[in-house]
Structure 1
Amino acid sequence: MVVSVSVVLLLVVIAALLMHNKNLKVSHAIVCGLLGFCLAGSSLAPTIQSTVASTADLVSTIRP
């Protein structure tokens, strides 16, 4: 659950910055959409969360 909380907080900060700058582009809308999926209890939220967790696990195994 640590990864999902971190992702939600990161997406909240990014969405707040984008809304503050008032320049919402397609990529920014995708970030806001991901935030909505992470916060919602829909049937797609567990799939997105598991994908994010798998990606985080993959990235954490990479050594520079």
Structure 2
Amino acid sequence: MKKAVVNQANCVACGVCEKVCPRQAITIFHGIYANVNEELCVGCKKCEKACPASVIEVVQKEVAS
């Protein structure tokens, strides 16, 4: 299952990812960094492509069993 992951230390909290996410899976946490709700994220890569700081990556995640 693919999910977006944010390098929060380098995120500039611009909000671009939040705007392009079709599932509203990304929110800007206290104006500091983007936070991904993994339950809503479908790994579509729209945020990864739109991020001007290149701090979002869609990666393969383990499925909890």
Same fold (TM over 0.5): no
> Which structure's residues are more often strand, by fraction?
2
The higher-RCO structure (CA 8 Å, 6+ apart) is 2
Q: What is the TM-score when the length of structure 1 is the normalising length?
A: 0.27
- Look at both structures and tell me which one has the larger radius of gyration over its CA atoms: 1
Q: TM-score, normalised by structure 2?
A: 0.27
Give the helix-richer structure, 1 or 2.
1
